[in-house]
Amino acid sequence: MFKIRLLVTALTLVGSISVASAWDALPTTVPAPADNPTTEEKVELGKMLYHDPRLSSTGTVSCASCHNTMLGGEDNRPNSMGVNGQTGGRSAPTVWNSAFNAVQFWDGRAASLEAQAAGPVTNPIEMGMKDWDAVVARLKTIKGYNEAFARAFGDNSVSKDNATKAIAAYERTLITPNSPYDKYVGGDKTALTEQQVRGMTKVAELGCTSCHSGAAFNGAGAFQKFPIHDNPYFAAQYHFKKDKGVAEVSKNEADEHFWKVPTLRNIALTAPYFHNGSVQTLEEAVKIMAKLQLDKDLSKEEIADIVAFLDSLTGEFPKQTMPTLPSTLGNTTN
């Protein structure tokens, strides 16, 4: 099932990553795939498509509705709201630094940003379009989009493939480097407070970086079982096992409760936490992870130190300007 079984199996290798290798600064650019080189015209088109609610059946929901680039790259809801007020069962992952994910979605069912961009548009709960043929037909009725696609891809180029390539090209610009942590590992030892350094040390001691490894603290595409350890109190309060994770897609019992390892970058901005958005605070999230993944009870001081370190992973956000969307000249596309 699109390499998920291989990735799940590879967890044994991820667990062997050394602590030292985890302390990498975030790159300031992301390499584009050979079949989708980044261009200014493509990025501009992608930004328009990303922010245009006309890609939804009701004309009310855009990619940015759930993945807000004016905030932490998601919507701070337990479950995102789609067309006609419907809500899904999972919390929206952040779009910031998503270009560093080896796979997309909580269950890793998309192998690229391009593949991910295609999904929500036709999901009946999210953006609700009948199919991509309907999306392309709608875009072709808008003169400004025909012109924008032509600038990015050439004449008569409005298509699903080019739309998702443009959105992915825009998303590859959504990188947040130069966090206090990045500055610290780059040599500025004044960039972190003493408490943040203590938290960084504790994260390494606990082994958190065995899963949250690499510059993006996202495990380089690894999957991990969650929760590992049962706890009746947390089970009753947060219902983590209600969703079977990767197994919901693979239909393989061995994949139950496996999830793509999420990034810790900008995590202070992305409450509520976990796949179902059931945990309101970062302090509680740290406590839960220690207990359910490591079977450890942390002191209040240890939790505070780790949270302080996680705060240091908030990077510098590139300035975002809202695009001017192509006009329908007095007509409606719905």
Closest-CA residue to 7 (of 197, 267, 203, 258): 258
| CA dihedral for 119, 124, 129, 133, sign (positive or negative) | positive
* Catalytic residue of the set 74, 114, 126, 302: 126
- Sequence-distant (≥ 6) Cβ neighbours of residue 150 within 8 angstroms: 156, 157
- The Cα–Cα gap between 66 and 139 comes to 21
Neighbours of 256 (CB within 10 A): 15
Cis peptide before 262 (omega within 30 of 0): no
What is the number of alpha carbons within 13 Å of residue 308 lying toward its C-beta? Answer: 18
| CA dihedral for 92, 93, 98, 102, sign (positive or negative) | negative
Q: What phi and psi, each to the nearest 5 degrees, are found at residue 141?
A: -80, -10
Neighbours of 15 (CB within 10 A): 13
> Is 147 known to be catalytic?
no
* Beta bridge partner(s), residue 259: 224
Rounded to 5°, the CA angle 189-312-77 comes to 175
Q: What phi and psi, each to the nearest 5 degrees, are found at residue 258?
A: -95, 145
Catalytic residue annotation: 126
